[in-house]
Amino acid sequence: MKQLIKLRVNGIDEELYAEPWWTLSYVLREELDFIGTKQGCEGGHCGACTVLIDGKAVMSCIYLAMKARGKDIMTIEGLEGENGALHPLQEAFIEHFAVQCGYCTPGMIMTAKAMLGENPNPTEEEVRAGLSGNLCRCTGYTKIVEAILSSAEKKGN
């Protein structure tokens, strides 16, 4: 039976009736239209569905929506730079050609955001370790790593 759940997505309180077995990625995409969050493997392996819950990176495809009640969720749609511009991470991904087909990009950027939130000045090795749960079939990762490192550097300036 559907139950009323309340959660906060990108700063806005949302209420909906959800089946107990719905995953967070399903609710975000199908019920709330945040289709920036992608689904790839649906098993926690590829990272395409990464969102932030209370600031922490989470694979939303294996996270039960019921568990997200009352939590603060951020998807790629919630990222913003100053005055409505793109977020510095998004800028860096464009600048460094870190996007090809783009399917992994929202997950990559959300993971990067969580990573830089904890460690604003990571080494290349730390960035690569931080991205180990996110697969990209196109770029070969180098450009993604460069984009994240450059975004981290710029913030430091």
Partner 1 sequence: MRFDYLAPPTIKEAISLLSKYDGKAKVIAGGTDLMNLIRTKMIKPEYVVDIGHVPGLDYVKYDDKGALSIGALTTIRTLEMSAQVKERHPVICQAAAQLGSMAIRNVGTIGGNLCHASPAADTAPSLIALGARLKIVGPAGERAVALENFFTGPGQTALQRGEMVVEIQAPSMPPHTRGVYLKHSIRGAADLAIVGVAVIATSNGGCCRNVRIVLGAVAPTPMRARNAEEALEGKEIDDALIEKAAQAAADESRPITDVRGSADYRKEMVKVFTRWAIRGVIPKEEAVNETTHIIQRGEK
Give contact residues for partner 1 (rule: CB under 8 A): 1, 3, 19-21, 23, 42-45, 47, 50, 56-59, 62-64, 66-67, 111, 114-115, 125, 129-130, 132-134
Q: How far is the CB of 28 from partner 1 (least distance, A)?
A: 15
Contacts (CB under 6 A) with ligand FES, residues 14-33: none
Torsion of CA 99, 89, 78, 74, to 10 degrees: 90
Amino acid at 49: C
Does 55 interact with ligand FES (rule: CB under 6 A)? no
Q: What is the 3-state secondary structure (H, E, C) of 23-47?
A: EHHHHHHHHCCCCCCCCCCCCCCCC
Which of 67, 55, 19, 12 has its CA nearest to residue 34? 12
List 136, 147, 149, 152, residue binding ligand FES (CB under 6 A): 136
Phi and psi angles of residue 28, each rounded to the nearest 5 degrees, phi first: -60, -45
Say which entry of ligand FAD, ligand FES, partner 1, none residue 151 contacts (CB below 5 to 8 A, set by partner kind): none
Does 137 interact with ligand FES (rule: CB under 6 A)? yes
